[in-house]
Amino acid sequence: MAAGRDRVAGKIALVTGAASGIGRAIARMLAEQGATVMVADIQETMALAVVAEIAEEGGSAELVPLDVTDEGQWIAAVDGVLDRHGRLDVLVNNAGVGSRSDGTIEDVTLEGWRAVMAVNAEGVMLGCKHGVRAMKAQGGGSIVNMSSIAGIVGAPQLSAYCASKGAVRMLTKSVALHCARKGYGIRCNSVHPSYTDTPMVDRMINARSDPARMRAALESASPFGRMGAPDDIAGAVLYLASDDSGFVTGAELVVDGGVTAM
Ligand SMILES: NC(=O)c1ccc[n+]([C@@H]2O[C@H](COP(=O)([O-])OP(=O)(O)OC[C@H]3O[C@@H](n4cnc5c(N)ncnc54)[C@H](O)[C@@H]3O)[C@@H](O)[C@H]2O)c1
C-alpha cells in the first residue's frame, strides 16, 4: 500500500471495472488515500461488495451501475456524480475484456473484434468524452486510461486486444493535447501493465490444458520472475490521479516489471 493517507484527499473519483482485479485495487487504494470513489461496473453484486469492503476499511464509496459501451449510461453516471457531489476530479477508464472472443488475424471474427473494441476502445472514448465535459466546467481533473503492454508491443494471438489497447494509447494523447490547448486543466495519461494476477488472467490460465505450466510461463516472462499484483498497477494510477503528477499529460506509464525493457 502507498505511504501516507491523503494523496487524493477530498477528490471525487470514478473507476470503471471496479468490481474485480485491477479496478478493485484502484478503487480501494484511492479510497484509502482520501478520495470518495464511485465503484462503476456491470457486475453490480460484486461492485457492491467492493463498496462494502471500502466502507469496512474506513473509506467512502458508492455503487454506480455502468456498462461503459452505452453512452446513455455514461451520461446518467456522470450527471449523477455531478448532482450528488458537484464535481468529478478523477476518472479511471479501467474496464476491459480479454481474449475469449479474440484470435490471430486469421482466426478473429468480426463479431469477436467488435466485442473487444466496444468495451476496450469505445468504452474509453465515451468515458473521456463525458469526463472532459464534467471536468472542464470545474477547471480541471485527471483521466487515467488503462491500456496494456499489448498497446505497445504485439501479441500474435490477440489481434483485437492489441488493436484496442493501441487505440487507448493514442486516444489518450489526443485527449491530452486537446485539453491542454483549450486550457481546461485536464490531464490524460495511459497505464500499461504486463500480465497481472487478476480474475481475467486466471480465466486465461484455467482455459489451458496445463494451467500450472501456463502460470509458470507467465511468471517467468518477467525479469522479476512474477506477474504484477493489482496493487502494483493501482500505485501507478494513484500517482497519475494525484497532484504529484501535475505536469504529466499524454504520457505512457509502463508497469511491467521490465518486460518491455528486454
Ligand atoms: N490482468 C492483466 O494481465 C492485464 C494486463 C494489462 C492490462 N489489463 C487491463 O486492465 C483492466 C482490468 O483488467 P483485470 O485484469 O482487472 O480484469 P477483470 O476481468 O478482473 O476485471 C475487469 C472488470 O471490468 C468489468 N467490465 C467488463 N466489461 C464492462 C463493461 N462493458 N462496462 C463496465 N464494466 C465492465 C468487469 O465486470 C470486471 O469487473 C482491463 O482494461 C485490462 O485489459 C489487464
Bridging pattern class, strands 60-65 and 90-93: unpaired
> 165 to each of 57, 151, 227, how far by Cα in Å?
33, 4, 19
3-state secondary structure 7-30: CCCCCEEEEECCCCHHHHHHHHHH
Residue 3 in this model has a pLDDT that exceeds 90: no
| Set of cell numbers at residue 190 | 495511459
**3-state class (DSSP) for residue 112:** helix
Can you give the pLDDT at residue 100? 72
Residue 160 in this model has a pLDDT that exceeds 60: yes
Pocket test of ligand 1: the residue of 51, 198, 227, 255 to mutate, having most ligand atoms within 8 Å of its CB, is 198
| Residue 161 annotated to the active site | yes
241 close to ligand 1 (CB < 6 Angstrom)? no
Q: Give the residues across from 93 on adjacent strands.
A: 145
**Inter-residue contact 219 to 194 (CB < 8 Å):** no
| Domain boundaries, given as residue ranges, for the chain | 12-193+230-253, 197-227
23 close to ligand 1 (CB < 6 Angstrom)? yes
127 close to ligand 1 (CB < 6 Angstrom)? no
Can you give the pLDDT at residue 4? 63
Among 73, 74, 71, 52, smallest CA distance to 63 is for 52
| Set of cell numbers at residue 195 | 500480465
Mean pLDDT value of segment 53-82: 98
For the segment 87-123, what is each residue's pLDDT rounded down to a tens digit? 999 999 999 998 677 899 999 999 999 999 999 999 9
| CA 186 – ligand 1 centroid, Å | 24
Can you give the pLDDT at residue 101? 76
Can you give the pLDDT at residue 5? 79
Can you give the pLDDT at residue 28? 98
Share of the chain above pLDDT 90, in %: 96
- Determine the residue type at 82: L
Residue 68 in this model has a pLDDT that exceeds 60: yes
At 83, the pLDDT band (50, 70, 90 cuts) reads very high
146 close to ligand 1 (CB < 6 Angstrom)? yes
Residue whose entry in the numeric block shows the C-alpha cell 457492491:
48
Can you give the pLDDT at residue 1? 44
**Inter-residue contact 160 to 222 (CB < 8 Å):** no
Write the class of the CATH domain 12-193+230-253.
Answer: alpha beta
Pairwise CA distance, residues 9 & 12, whole Å: 9
For the segment 132-154, what is each residue's pLDDT rounded down to a tens digit? 999 999 999 999 999 999 999 99
Can you give the pLDDT at residue 173? 99
> 90 to each of 19, 94, 107, how far by Cα in Å?
17, 12, 38
